[in-house]
């Protein structure tokens, strides 16, 4: 896993200051959380026994997890069902207290200073809403404006921007209970960002959305990271989403961090199956291999290049080098799907 396991390293991507003037970094050090639950024994006598002498079992949901997210970076926290992603996010939002280790979000220990942390973060849990069920959306926004003491002009300007990107105004006079899932999550996203937090946590925000709304939400998130400099920690099972939004991913399994790397590093390590087919403008040009790029074969005027060795570039880097070196009249890329790459990463990391 060369170049990928960057556990304990500190991230240095896009070091921009946050929208609220607060350094929106996230630091997670040896974070652990154990849950204690009572087991119900089977049958009637079992149930009686459980009542008299309950059997307690410990479940280590998150175990010694360490990673950083730099200000203005979007990091995807990945892993199979039950891996510990939501539990990690709950500790970073201050909902849960860790049993060991520590975390800092924009300089605040979230579970020790919940209120201060709440001012620095926005959170969206795709399956739940933070809006008032019986109120029209716009009234929920007004309540949040008062809670976070956002000046009226700022509130109006931000709502205008969110409306432009998420197309909210056609349904923001509707009661939350009557919104479709896609409408509701778009409103939740706007609500989470109305107080201009430097850090945003998104737990499966696009789950169950149609492709058009998904794309709209992804465009919105990209804008929040690239234009507003927000730091985003995102969990998702959707690899298209990861490919569109994340530069770096952290993979956890059974509560343990097993991989931390950029998508390029992960593609190089687990998905080095790309090919570049280049048609040379002059088919008689002599072709030599380039560093990390092998000439796999010639098919008439078409040269088929592929990765060569451990230091092979990504398909996009290879394409750049090939067209810099040769005059090319046509080009086609054949890249391993990110879903396949991540599956290979999961398998090698023992996650499936």
Ligand X SMILES: Nc1ncnc2c1ncn2[C@@H]1O[C@H](COP(=O)(O)OP(=O)(O)OP(=O)(O)O)[C@@H](O)[C@H]1O
Which parts of this chain interact with ligand X (CB under 6 A)?
35, 37, 59, 61, 79, 81-87
Residue 129 in contact with residue 202, Cβ under 8 Å?
no
Q: What is the closest distance, in whole angstroms, from the C-beta atom of residue 232 to ligand X in the complex?
A: 17
Q: What is the closest distance, in whole angstroms, from the C-beta atom of residue 42 to ligand X in the complex?
A: 20
Q: What is the closest distance, in whole angstroms, from the C-beta atom of residue 237 to ligand X in the complex?
A: 7
Q: What is the closest distance, in whole angstroms, from the C-beta atom of residue 148 to ligand X in the complex?
A: 27
Nearest to ligand X of 89, 193 (CB atom): 89
Nearest to ligand X of 67, 171 (CB atom): 67
Nearest to ligand X of 71, 79 (CB atom): 79
- Bridge-based pairing of strands 74-78 and 100-105 is unpaired
Nearest to ligand X of 37, 285 (CB atom): 37
Nearest to ligand X of 168, 249 (CB atom): 249
- Give me 302's structure tokens: 């078409």
- Bridge-based pairing of strands 74-78 and 231-235 is parallel
Give dist(CA 279, CA 329) in Å, integer: 6
Kind and range of the H or E run holding 65? strand 55-69
Give dist(CA 326, CA 322) in Å, integer: 6
Nearest to ligand X of 22, 83 (CB atom): 83
Residue 253 in contact with residue 222, Cβ under 8 Å?
no
Taking residue 261's Cβ as centre, other Cβ atoms within 10 Å add up to 24
Q: What is the closest distance, in whole angstroms, from the C-beta atom of residue 193 to ligand X in the complex?
A: 22
Which CA distances in Å does 21 have to 72, 108, 189, 226? Answer: 12, 14, 21, 16
Length of the chain: 352
Q: What is the closest distance, in whole angstroms, from the C-beta atom of residue 175 to ligand X in the complex?
A: 28
């Amino acid at each position: 896993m060369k170049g990928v396991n960057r556990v304990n390293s500190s991230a240095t991507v896009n070091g921009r200051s946050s929208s609220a003037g607060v350094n929106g970094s996230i630091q997670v050090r040896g974070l652990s959380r154990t849950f204690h639950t009572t087991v119900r024994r089977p049958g009637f006598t079992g149930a009686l026994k459980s009542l008299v002498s309950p059997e307690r079992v410990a479940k280590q949901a998150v175990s010694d997890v360490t990673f950083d997210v730099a200000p203005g970076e979007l990091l995807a926290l990945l892993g199979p069902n039950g891996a510990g992603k939501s539990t990690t996010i709950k500790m970073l939002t201050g909902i849960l207290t860790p049993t060991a280790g520590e975390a800092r979000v924009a300089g605040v220990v979230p579970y020790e200073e919940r209120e201060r942390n709440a001012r620095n973060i926005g959170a969206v849990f795709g399956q739940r809403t933070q809006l008032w069920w019986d109120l029209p959306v716009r009234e929920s926004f007004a309540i949040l404006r008062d809670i976070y003491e956002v000046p009226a002009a700022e509130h109006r300007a931000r709502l205008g921007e969110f409306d432009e990107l998420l197309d909210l105004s056609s349904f923001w006079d509707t009661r939350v209970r009557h919104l479709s899932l896609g409408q509701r999550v778009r409103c939740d996203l706007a609500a989470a960002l109305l107080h201009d937090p430097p850090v945003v946590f998104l737990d499966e925000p696009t789950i169950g959305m149609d492709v058009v709304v998904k794309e709209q939400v992804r465009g919105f998130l990209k804008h929040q990271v690239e234009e507003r400099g927000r730091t985003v920690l995102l969990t998702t099972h959707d690899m298209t989403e990861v490919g569109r939004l994340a530069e770096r991913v952290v993979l956890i399994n059974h509560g343990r961090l097993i991989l931390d790397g950029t998508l390029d590093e992960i593609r190089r390590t687990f998905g080095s199956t790309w090919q570049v087919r280049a048609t040379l403008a002059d088919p008689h040009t002599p072709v030599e291999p380039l560093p990390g790029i092998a000439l796999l074969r010639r098919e008439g005027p078409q040269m088929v290049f592929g990765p060569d060795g451990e230091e092979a570039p990504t398909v996009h880097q290879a394409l750049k080098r090939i067209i810099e070196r040769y005059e090319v009249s046509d080009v086609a890329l054949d890249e391993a799907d990110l879903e396949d790459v991540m599956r290979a990463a999961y398998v090698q990391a023992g996650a499936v």
